[in-house]
Each structure stands twice: as C-alpha cells, then as structure tokens.
Amino acid sequence: MTAAAPAATGGTTRALRLRARSCLLLVACSVIGVVAFGWPLLAEPYGSAATAHAADAPWLLAVLLPLLLAVVLAELAEGELDAKAVALLGVLAACGAALRLPSGGVAGFEPVFFLLVPAGRVLGRGFGFVLGALTLFVSALLTGGVGPWLPFQMLGAAWMGFFAGCLPPVRGRAEVALLAAYAAGAALAYGFLLNLSFWPYVAGSDSALSFVPGAGLAENLRHFWAFHLATSLGFDIPRAVFTAGFLVVAGRPILNALRRASRRAAFGAPVTFSEPS
C-alpha cells in the first residue's frame, strides 16, 4: 500500500480543504454568530431586548456544536479529512487547552491564541475554524469555565483560526511579521466581540455605558464603545501584545514544525494498493 505525495503550495498541504457542503455549514455557523454577537446594535425598537435574549447562550451552544460536528463529518464523508487529520486536530486542541490552564486570562495573558494562528495558516481555513472552537470548548471543560460566555468564545476563536488561513502567501520574516500583526488585531477583535456579547446585561440601564433597547445604531454603538474603553481594553491590549510577541519569538519554529508534520502526514494523498515486490 502506498500513498502518493499530495500537491502542495509552498511546501504546505491543507489538512481540511473546504468543499461546498462544508462551506455552507461554516457560513451557517458564522451567520448565527454574527446575529448572536450583533443583536444589541440591531434590536427592534420595542420591548426589552436584553431580557428577551438573556437565555440565548445555551441555545447558541446547542446549535453550534452540531454544526461543527457536521463540518467534520462532511469532510470525512467526502474523504478530505482522514484519520491523520483528526488525530492532529485532537493533539493541537489538547495543546491549546493546556496552554490556557496556567494563564487564566490574568492581565490578558492568554497564550492559547498563539497556537491558533500558525495552525490556521499552515493547515487551512476549515481546520483553523474547527480547531479554534474545539480548543476553547475543551479548555472550558478542563478549567470549569463552562457558562453562557462559552459559545461566544468558541465562535471568536474559530474566526481567528479561519481568517489566519486567509492571509496572503508570504514567507520568511515577512510571514512572521504578518502573523504577529494579524494576531494582535485578532486578539483585539476577540475582546471587542466578547464584550459585545454580554454588554447589555452588566452595564445597567441608566448610565452612559448602558445598552438602550430601541435606540439607534449610532447611540448604542457610542455607549458600547465607552463601555469597552472603560472595562476591557486594559485586558485586550496585553492579550494582543503577548500573542504577537509569542509569534515573533516562536512563530518560525512552530510554522516549520506544522509544515513538516503536514508533509509527512500527506493529508489527502490517494492510497493505492500494489503487489509486493
């Protein structure tokens, strides 16, 4: 039995290529995520939107997990995701969860995001999306961090891994600089989105930081930005600095290791049977 070497671009193979079925499932996940994050800015002008959506997180998690499982099963059915890719997904998710254990997010020190960026870069957008969501899910189980914030964390990390796979093809120092800059921006965006998910429930109802049901987009966006500056930016900036710094220091060895593992695993290589010589 032999496996032909797969075609590669720049010495890199993709562990999870996106076919039409998987693309539709990822789009469905993302649309649900955009609605879940953005409803405070687009709420209808009647009733208490914060009360109406207070119990949405368990339903979001109940929808998100089957969709992520469906992405993996769809690729298994299509033959694009093989046992080696599943094993690598599990190993990287476990490593990411282990990186989160010692940090606890203290002062924005969260090395878990450092691994998502090179993994999405090397192994592809679909792999990065599933890895980001799975890593946050596993780490929440290990740290006891399961709560209404979990589905939002999973979506934020999934998008971080996905868009890392969409970056332009450059190599050498330019690649490390690109990934560090992207990681810093993505870490800031992650904090922004997570704040948006719980802002209506914690800022009260009678301050300049409060969510105002039925108010216009500009007014609520102004209130949210004031809330974000007052509560979260002091954690988001260190997270961005730490993540970018980790990539500058160790990004090149991690990228090389992932590319070497990807080449040796020969993801997607057609398996043929031949008579023994």
What tens digit of pLDDT does each residue of 121-172 get? 988 888 888 888 888 888 888 876 777 778 888 888 889 999 998 898 888 8
- Judged against a pLDDT cut of 70, whether residue 107 lies above it is answered with no
Structure tokens at 111: 């090395």
Q: Mean per-residue pLDDT for 16-22?
A: 67
- Judged against a pLDDT cut of 90, whether residue 179 lies above it is answered with yes
- Judged against a pLDDT cut of 50, whether residue 47 lies above it is answered with no
User: What band does 45 get if pLDDT is binned at 50, 70 and 90?
Assistant: very low
pTM of the model: 0.76
**CA 187 – CA 192 distance, rounded (Å):** 9
- Which pLDDT score, from 0 to 100, does residue 185 have? 93
- Which pLDDT score, from 0 to 100, does residue 11 have? 44
- Which pLDDT score, from 0 to 100, does residue 134 have? 86
What mean pLDDT is reported for the chain? 75
Asked: is 19-264 a CATH 3.10.310.50 domain? The reply is no
- Judged against a pLDDT cut of 90, whether residue 6 lies above it is answered with no
Q: Mean per-residue pLDDT for 35-52?
A: 58
- Centre a 10 Å sphere on the Cβ of residue 110 and count the other Cβ atoms it contains: 21
Residues 6+ away with beta carbon under 8 Å from 259? 11, 12, 122
Whole-number percent of the chain with pLDDT over 70: 68
Q: Mean per-residue pLDDT for 7-24?
A: 58
Q: Mean per-residue pLDDT for 238-242?
A: 89
Among 158-162, 220-224, 258-262, name the one with the lowest average pLDDT. Answer: 220-224
Q: Where are the alpha helices (DSSP H) in the chain?
A: 20-42, 49-52, 56-78, 83-100, 112-123, 125-143, 150-164, 173-202, 217-231, 233-265
- Which pLDDT score, from 0 to 100, does residue 43 have? 57
- Judged against a pLDDT cut of 60, whether residue 3 lies above it is answered with no
- Which pLDDT score, from 0 to 100, does residue 59 have? 66
DSSP 81-145: S-HHHHHHHHHHHHHHHHHHTTTTTGGG--THHHHHHHHHHHH-HHHHHHHHHHHHHHHHHHHT-
User: What band does 61 get if pLDDT is binned at 50, 70 and 90?
Assistant: low
- Which pLDDT score, from 0 to 100, does residue 50 have? 47
Residue boundaries of the structural domains of the chain: 19-264
| pLDDT tens, position by position, 87-100 | 888 888 888 888 87
Gyration radius from the chain CA atoms: 20
- Which pLDDT score, from 0 to 100, does residue 183 have? 93
- 53: which strand partners? none
